Structure 1
Amino acid sequence: MSPSATGSNPAPPFLDGHSTLTPTSAQPTASRPLTPGIYVPTVAFFRSDDSIDVETTASHATRLARSGVAGLVTHGSNGEAVHLDHAERQLINRITRDALDAAGNSHIPLIVGCGAQSTREAIQLCEEAAASGGNYTLVLPPAYYGNLLSTELIIRHFRAVADASPIPVLVYNFPGACSGLDLSSDVIIALSNHPNVVGVKLTCGNTGKLARIAAATATPCPTASSKKTTPSIRADRATATTAQQPFRTFGGSVDFTLQTLVVGGHGIIGGTANIAPRACIRLVELWEQGKLAEARELQAVVARGDWTAIQGGFVSVKAALAEFYGYGGEPRKPCALLEGDKLKEQLDGFAELVETERALEKLQS
């Protein structure tokens, strides 16, 4: 577990004394396209005095980048966004962006969660995300007053946010975090027509919806007439920087990675990749290589580990990081880590996946 300390957050080497962005951090979004693959919604790290743990935030981002993930996400459901004030959100963005840049990963995009209950605050969060190193925003629909919000009002909200946001927007559909509000494929396809809406994260787990959106928003492929039948994410990566940012359809959990790819999705934004990024990436590679039997086997391992994370939420991810990687720390109250036999049972649920991750790490070292 990361060492605890007290006092204010010091500026790490890649930030100046005022925590301002470096020139590299201000690099335009066009140079950091959303390439298909695995994106990791990072967890938030705190010191014993409940302040942001700068060093662990930076080192975790660097570790994930080293594994080969396509991008990082701050302030998703795994990132305790609802436990953070605006200044803390911006600090975590700055630390993450500058850690990536300092480690030679300036090409990796940073997506920032910017969901809020009012259109005004969502726009403010998007502006702050852009100012603190974010390249894209991930926006939940407002749901607290859900019974008062018609589908048309929800669409107006997203369009207003997209109109005002200085960086591109991804729609985030997560009924579990939005009082059951579940955006339909029709709504998401309609929103995809906005020039500043460039993707969606579907944590609803509805692969039929994912298939409809992926098909409706697919970018015409110049090799469509070729005999190759397995979609190549690697080829998409190679061409992403030469064309306008295409619409990306991401699954929201690694337990349906293979299903997402089969129906034309572009990858996963999933919290369990904090624990096992290489295993998640390898699953995508097996699909790309047409090794379906091996992909199915690995998908089963990933899905079993992900079920533990789904049941335990971000708290279980932090517990796994502490147990298997030596850092993690406590969540902010009222959330808390499990203890005793319950904690052991939870960690046992990750053991198979972590063993697979470590085997892949050895092969790649």
Structure 2
Amino acid sequence: MDHRTLKERLAGAFVALITPFDAADQVDVAGLRGNAAWMLTRGLDGILLLGSTGEQVHLSEFERALVLEVGRQQIAADRLLIAGAGLSGTRQTIEETRQAGRAGADVALVVTPSYYQKAMNAANLTNHYRAVADASPIPIMLYSVPPIVNVTLPAESVAALAGHPNIIGMKNSGGDPQMAGLYREAAAGHDFIILGGSAHAAPGFLLTGLVDGVILAAANVLPEAAANLVRAARDGDIAATRRYGELLRRVSETVGRHGIAGWKAGLAARGQVGGLARLPLRNITDSERQQVIAWTNELAAAL
């Protein structure tokens, strides 16, 4: 039995898992089960479902509930299930966190709302997250992912929210060390977990204490590297941290250049179920797929 606190367990390595679809463009339940089971044999501390890489925005309400239900059945209690959540409105986001709680998720990762970008200032984002945290049946994490939603969570909001009893931390998917430092400073004095989402920035951020762990899309292809990266940084092993960080950087620059379709093809190259990305995302060509397979095999052999 794991006697660590939830925050201690969050300071680890997680995959932002893809959502596989079958030939009829339905959620591939068997594929999802198999992918989750395989990931948990690779040393990861848990799985994020319905994150940006999981195409949360492409799934219906029923499909989102199904993915979490299947995931909880597959992810044993000694590993964490993080549920991606967050819609354009606060009321809808609250319902998402309630659904995640009903499905048995341990934490809800709540992305910044972004439809009305010009209105997403520090005051409005703070009010949004406070309302969600007040109503959520499970702890929430703030989620800043400016490369995707073009909204950066201000450090001012983190400072205002870090002490909330139901806000356990945040995911910072940006790669700016200055911003990462501002987040860490904003949370000073609070037991607040920060997870990194950039494979390029992760080694440096881990070694300097700017993040406590990682949630990476690159872990779809190299989950072992993500798990070993966090362990090496925790042990102060700079050489190993750099080695695993370099593998994750390379897989991000090769397989990751094709986005979600690339991560799915890379996961399939590891013997798991990838499938196609949903429109309007572009799927890769046969020649690109062969290239992804070659890159994946080369990098996996270097683990």
TM-score by length of structure 1 reads 0.76
Q: Paired residue for 2:178?
A: 208
CA offsets 1:107-139 (integer angstroms, 9 cap, x no match): 111111111100010001000010012111111
CA distance in 2, matches of 1:59, 1:108: 16
Q: Paired residue for 2:112?
A: 141
- The letter for the 1-side match of 2:17 is T
Describe the shift of the 1:218–1:261 C-alpha distance in structure 2 as closer, same or farther (beyond 3 A).
farther
- Bigger drift between 162-171 and 320-329 goes to 320-329
- The letter for the 1-side match of 2:203 is L
- The letter for the 2-side match of 1:130 is G
| 2:139 corresponds to 1:168 | yes
CA contact (8 A) 1:279 1:356 kept: no
CA contact (8 A) 2:158 2:187 kept: no
| 2:11 corresponds to 1:36 | yes
CA distance in 2, matches of 1:51, 1:195: 38
Tell me how far 1:146 sits from its aligned partner: 1.5
* Counterparts of residues 10-25 of structure 1 (less than 5 Å): none
Q: Paired residue for 1:299?
A: 245
Describe the shift of the 1:288–1:32 C-alpha distance in structure 2 as closer, same or farther (beyond 3 A).
closer
Tell me how far 1:187 sits from its aligned partner: 1.9
How many residues are matched? 299
- The letter for the 1-side match of 2:33 is A
CA distance in 1, matches of 2:46, 2:177: 22
- The letter for the 2-side match of 1:266 is D
Selected match of 2:100 from 125, 129, 137: 129
* Counterparts of residues 281-292 of structure 1 (less than 5 Å): 281-292=227-238
| 2:171 corresponds to 1:254 | no
CA contact (8 A) 2:20 2:28 kept: yes
Tell me how far 1:284 sits from its aligned partner: 2.2
Tell me how far 1:273 sits from its aligned partner: 0.7
Tell me how far 1:293 sits from its aligned partner: 2.4
Tell me how far 1:298 sits from its aligned partner: 2.9
Match of 2:168, SS state, is strand
Match of 1:78, SS state, is coil
CA contact (8 A) 1:271 1:317 kept: yes
CA contact (8 A) 1:36 1:267 kept: yes
* Counterparts of residues 214-363 of structure 1 (less than 5 Å): 214-217=184-187, 246-264=191-209, 265-357=211-303
CA offsets 1:59-78 (integer angstroms, 9 cap, x no match): 11111111121121111011
Structure 1 unaligned regions, length at least 5: 1-28, 221-245, 358-365
Match of 1:255, SS state, is coil
CA distance in 2, matches of 1:37, 1:31: 11
> What's the % identity of the aligned pairs?
29
Structure 2 unaligned regions, length at least 5: none
Q: Paired residue for 2:161?
A: 191
Q: CA RMSD in A?
A: 2.1
CA distance in 1, matches of 2:90, 2:118: 17
CA distance in 2, matches of 1:112, 1:194: 19
Q: Paired residue for 1:235?
A: none
Q: Paired residue for 2:22?
A: 47
Match of 2:143, SS state, is strand
CA distance in 2, matches of 1:76, 1:111: 9
CA offsets 1:252-311 (integer angstroms, 9 cap, x no match): 122222112122121111011111111122222222333212322332222111223442
Tell me how far 1:219 sits from its aligned partner: 6.3
Describe the shift of the 1:98–1:143 C-alpha distance in structure 2 as closer, same or farther (beyond 3 A).
same
- The letter for the 2-side match of 1:297 is R
Describe the shift of the 1:31–1:299 C-alpha distance in structure 2 as closer, same or farther (beyond 3 A).
closer
